Structure 1
Amino acid sequence: MGCAVISELQAANIPFLALTHGEATAESLIASGVKAKAVDVMDTGTLRSIFREARRAFLLNPPADPKSDTDSVERATATSITEAVDGSGLEKVVVASTYGAQPGERIGDLSVLFGFERLIEQTGIPAAINRGAYYFTNLEPLLEAARKGTITTPFPEDLLMPMVSPIDLGKQVTLRLLSPTSDVGIRYVEGPDRYTFLDVVAAFSGALGHAVLLEKIPNGEIEASYKELGFSDAAAVAFARMTKASIEGMELPDDPVRGDVGLFEYLRELATPAEASGNSTTIY
């Protein structure tokens, strides 16, 4: 999503500073003509100093390494960002959050980002909160399995899910960064349609030119499936609980902002570069 916001701000000729985790990413952005700086998100003082030089900020709590205790790490980074915002003099912030954000413990992004929303609101700085649907980018790791003919998912095949492209998320972030300070509160952002995982396999099948099958991970094996992917015990618990909470109470708002990029288009474009090059690893 961050790259999409950068593209939108560039297109609008809006000056900005992109903050990144690592020096390599910052150097790559600088080489492409973007003003960027690598900052340790836990360095609250440096963050605050940077915010004091700006008028507005887009706040994206960085995902933690899945080998760590993700909930604890992400709550700590959310707190650091909030403390940097507090007293910064910013006139408005835009916060990236998620569908299904809710109070609780150990339910991954659902609880971490709900807490982040509340923390930022408590600073008193006008906050526009964009809750994004299930990211299409979550489907990218399934591409290689789809090439082999079968993808697995913990979600029921017929569960209707709001999904969204990072491009559409970036557009909505930019609109709210540039809108009046009175434009605050929660806004839901999703793609042009809602989809099931039957749609996902159909989209992969169309993009790859062969049938792709779907295999459901049993509810009792969801936590173990995350561990098999290399998640820590704590992260596997949080992600499994987040997945189950989403299955049991998928949030379907009546009035979301709808983007333009659909599932079939997204997966077709995802698959095409690798298909054209003949190298399935280049897609990443």
Structure 2
Amino acid sequence: MTIVVTTPTGHVGSRVVRLLLQAGVRPRVLVRDPGRLDAGIRDRLDVRRGDLTDAAFVREATKGARTVFWVDPTPHTDADPIGTSQRTAAPLADAARAGDVARVVLLSSIGAEKRDGAGHIDGLGRIEEMLDATGADVLHLRCGYFFTNLLLDVDALARGVLTTAAGPHAPMPWVSPRDIGDVVAARLLGESWKGRVVQGVYGPEDLTYTQVAAILTGALGRPIGLEVISEDDVREGLRSAGLPPGAVEGIVGMTAGTRGLKPDPPRDAVTTTPTHLAGWAHTHLRPLLGPATPA
């Protein structure tokens, strides 16, 4: 069984790689910089060095694989994020259509089912459609909001501020990438699914940003206040940082386009995963903030 893992050094991919090794599988990993792989496992992997935006590399590296785990590597800062996501995944779709790849597990997102109006998430919707048209067995894992996105706000959290342009009282799924990795590995190893399958990965509960601020206050040992800003505030900040217009709208659209969205599929026992935000924040976020400033 040949299983290809893209972005094997990321929050999800690194977990998937370890679980596959523990299951007795030697995964084929596609990586730009092999030096970023864990030195303790590097010799146990089939390492293919290259760039996922290189169509020839993707076709050659996935050829003959039973299953591919595809993570879109397109950064949100790309000038044409939706188009780049689609173009980057095209060689994989070609490989699946040609029969060089039998199964694909796609790391997708809530909102991809909209197909339009969800910013850069629309790129994942396009990839879902491309893969659906190949005739291969395809599994779309539509994930909630990653806990690890909070790592982008460490400086603000150290000052006691959680900032969002989302509605403060609108619940949304929050999920640990480790839990996502567990689901991915189980699906890569499982042989029972066929055709087109869509599965949600939503964490243990839906949370509002107001609840997240309260959870972080307890987990981080410091008061965390919620600052709600407008979409125009976000746009101005991104423009000031030098991002091109396509990237700005791709980022703003992800929040605007999923506001009030009811995830598809709905939450149930299969889509619910165990790791709670409080424990994750205490373990992974609290050590990065330093001591709290006395009131």
**TM-score bin, normalised by smaller chain:** 0.7 to 0.9
SS at match of 2:141: strand
Q: 1:257 aligns with which of 262, 271, 294?
A: 271
Shift of 1:38: 2.2
- Counterpart position of 1:108: 119
1:60-112 superposed Cα distances (whole Å, 9 cap, x missing partner): 11122515332222222122332233314322221111111135456333311
Q: 2:248 aligns with which of 236, 257, 270?
A: 236
The answer as to 2:289 corresponding to 1:269 is no
The answer as to 2:219 corresponding to 1:207 is yes
SS at match of 1:242: helix
Shift of 1:49: 2.2
Count of residues in correspondence between the two structures: 275
- Counterpart position of 2:17: 6
- Counterpart position of 1:157: 168
Shift of 1:3: 1.2
Write the letter of the residue equivalent to 1:37. R
SS at match of 1:31: coil
Please, which moves more after superposition, 109-118 or 35-44? 35-44
Query: What RMSD in Å do the two structures reach over aligned CA positions?
Result: 2.3
- TM-score, structure 1 as length reference: 0.87
SS at match of 1:108: coil
Shift of 1:221: 2.8
SS at match of 2:259: helix
Shift of 1:145: 0.7
1:199-252 superposed Cα distances (whole Å, 9 cap, x missing partner): 221222223211111110124433223334543211111221221111143426
C-alpha distance 218-164 of structure 1, shift in aligned 2 (>3 A): same
Contact 1:51 / 1:88 at 8 angstroms: preserved in 2?
no
C-alpha distance 49-196 of structure 1, shift in aligned 2 (>3 A): same
TM alignment of 1:52-201, pairs within 5 A: 52-64=63-75, 66-105=77-116, 107-180=118-191, 182-183=193-194, 184-201=196-213
Contact 1:101 / 1:109 at 8 angstroms: preserved in 2?
no
Structure 2's unaligned 5+ residue stretches are 1-11
Structure 1's unaligned 5+ residue stretches are none
The answer as to 2:38 corresponding to 1:27 is no
Write the letter of the residue equivalent to 2:244. S
SS at match of 1:81: helix
Please, which moves more after superposition, 259-268 or 228-237? 228-237
Distance 2:255 2:41 in 1: 39
C-alpha distance 88-230 of structure 1, shift in aligned 2 (>3 A): farther
Contact 2:118 / 2:258 at 8 angstroms: preserved in 1?
no
Distance 1:92 1:80 in 2: 14
Write the letter of the residue equivalent to 2:128. E
Distance 1:169 1:177 in 2: 12
- TM-score, structure 2 as length reference: 0.84
Distance 1:60 1:124 in 2: 20
Write the letter of the residue equivalent to 1:73. T
Contact 1:107 / 1:242 at 8 angstroms: preserved in 2?
yes
C-alpha distance 8-27 of structure 1, shift in aligned 2 (>3 A): same
SS at match of 1:210: coil
Distance 2:240 2:25 in 1: 44
SS at match of 1:257: coil
Distance 2:83 2:156 in 1: 31
- Counterpart position of 1:43: 54
